[in-house]
A and B are shown apart, each in its own frame.
Chain A
Amino acid sequence: MEISETPVDLKRTLIQKGPKFRSHTIIFDENTAYLKPTISSLLFCVVYVVVGLFLMALSVIVYVKNSQLDFAIFLMIFGVAITTFGCTLLKPFAKRIIFDKETGKFKNNTDRTVHIENIISLQINNKMVTSKHGISYPCYELNLLTKNGRRVNILNHNDLQQLKSDAEKLAVFLSVELTDLQREIIL
């Protein structure tokens, strides 16, 4: 069987969208490097949970005080939907994303575990997040490449300065090459 070689496009971003704020920073210990969510991003996600719980509480009040079932159900549905949404936003913050030299593994609880020895380089990529609302802002990714050609995202946020600083430290920590592959984006 003939195996065709597909070149890995390192300039391509791995995630379509991304936040317009710094979502994580990398914290380094002697043998580990892990991603720490920023407090402000965490608090903005909590807003959804608070709003959702408020609507659920309001639903109970409406039912108990006025016995108005239709409005209570309406509020409850909205409340549950927004709370669930808030929880899904918070979920990634609960994940521990770590490079552990002792176990020799990188885990992000999303992709298959990567053996640190297989990581050959890190890349910084840029993209423009756009939407129908007319929103457009630049966003940046820090991705890793394994010797098998697999690419995995590490960071994805809007603060280039912090991302570059984290990337440089991580490259030293992993003893791999860091390449800045930002390109001009023409819409």
Chain B
Amino acid sequence: MKKLNRYLIGIFLTFMSMSAFAAEGDPSAFSAMLAGISSGVDTFFKDYLGWFVNLIFYSAPVGDTKFPIIVGWLFVAAIIFTFYFGFVQFRRAGLALNIVRGKYTDPNSKEEGEVSHFQALTTALSGTVGLGNIAGVGVAVAIGGPGATFWMIMCGLLGMASKFFECTLGVKYRTVLPSGAISGGPMYYLRDAMAERGFGGLGKFLAVGFALMCILGSFGGGNMFQANQAHAMLTYAFDVPPEYGIITGVVLAALVFSVIIGGMPSIASVTEKVVPYMAALYLGMGLIVILMNLGQIGAAFAAIFDGAFTGAGVAGGVIGALIQGLKRATFSNEAGIGSAAIAHSAVKTKEPITEGLVATLEPFIDTVVICTMTALVITIAGLNVAPFDGAGLTGVQLTAASFSDSVGFFKYFLALAVIMFAFSTMISWSYYGLKAWTYLFGEGKAMEMIFKIIFCIFVIVGATIQFGAVIDFSDAAIFAMSIFNIIGLYFLMPIVKDELASFVARVKSGEIKKYK
């Protein structure tokens, strides 16, 4: 293993020197070479994985447009969960806030190293702000017009129920692996909870299906998309040629490499500490832009509501706006996807419901508050005009241009924030992917190393490519996770309903004490 580690470091150092050479060498030959690689990667994804994208985003004709079934799948599930759990995200919002504020935590039982609920909230806040809020909203508004924002908000409000559901199950059915590590998430609740309900065979199938899609998702949306948009931001802010993405990729991959292969918790800890400040910086910039343009807020909201119900200028009209809103909101808050259940499963709690309730706050903050703020900034700037076909600025570049429209130097802060968010998200998804990988192939240094190496290679690929096929694949892989997750969730609804009823009853009876 030691030898392998040294060998890997050698490979990375070679890559680094190649990049340095590239920066100094003949730029036209280098650009042509990279364009060739990028084109080759795009062709590969189109030829070999295009069928996967088409399958996941299979669309049914609705009026004069096509509606992706998967988007409806997530939206309908969120509506059903909202009704089934009695609008838990609204009726138990007070309880969720009280848990976060530590009202149900015994002040004398706090152990060394245990995070306070306030810390948990700031962690949750920083965890929800990411490229989905910056680049995702840029894509939604560029293609779906301002009206897409309304549907994002709707998706965020309903998605709170999905997140409550899956995060509760994630904690309830987590397991301790032979190494002592805690592992949880849809793989485990689909397998174990479904067996409890008498659907063991189906549960195992769904768990394996989810794990496979989670691995693809970790390479796609959790990795390539992040690296790609990080470089796109550098291209916008500093005019870095797109083909120099390989340098961005190698630098990011080297840092990811040290964390996931080296097992260095320090950089992940530093990222955890820095990302909340980046989130605060992003929110601060958004508020400044909104305050500078207070007079236009009314018109911006009017454009959002009009666009939601008229779909003016959007291909597919209202349905087109709705599709983009729902797609980007799901990509941002990950409700129903199952990834959040993996992250939340490591929490220290005796009551799974408390984690589910706290998790409901994330789609609210992520989508209802922060995505709306980004959409307002874009709408106020007015750089995105009909027809909304994504031909002009889109993604992170549209968002950055809109911020810079009010305060020119904001693009530099945004570049800093985007890189930090991209890195943080890649680290998170590397662990989600690894959990899925170990679920399928078992724990073992050699097998885990294979995943980690592939993950690092995909960082470079993601930053290098300039074409849509890889981005489409990234999207499809993330959405594919929801297919297996949600089928299982339908079977497991009674478990969480009983758990919620029991928790609420114990709170009301005073069995679960309120300390403040």
Contact = CB atoms under 8 A, between A and B. Distances in A.
Interface of A: 12-13, 16-21, 38-41, 43-48, 50-51, 54-55, 57-58, 61-62, 65, 68, 70-71, 74, 78, 82, 85, 89, 127-138, 158, 187
B272 interface: yes
Given A70-B238, A132-B123, A136-B346, A13 B262 contact: no
Interface string B414-425: 011001000010
A47 B10 CA distance: 10
A158 B445 CA distance: 14
Contacts of B217: none
Given A58-B20, A89-B266, A187-B346, A131 B251 contact: no
A55 B251 contact: yes
A50 B20 CA distance: 12
9 closest Cβ pairs, A-B complex: A20-B263, A44-B262, A138-B180, A71-B238, A134-B343, A136-B182, A136-B346, A16-B113, A47-B258
Interface string B389-427: 000000000000000000000001001100100001001
A19 B265 contact: yes
Interface stretch (B1-9, B58-66, B195-203, B484-492): B1-9
Contacts of A45: 264
Contacts of A47: 9, 12, 254-255, 257-258, 262
B327 interface: no
Contact of B23 (A13, A61, A135, A187): A61
Interface in B192-235: none
Contacts of B511: none
B334 to A, nearest CB: 12
Q: Which of A19, A127, A136, A158 has the most CB of B within 10 A?
A: A136
B165 interface: no
Given A20-B263, A61-B23, A127 B343 contact: no
B254 A12 contact: no
Interface string B480-507: 0000000000000000000000000000
B9 A44 contact: yes
Interface stretch (B73-81, B279-287, B298-306, B428-436): B428-436
B6 A130 contact: no
B321 to A, nearest CB: 33
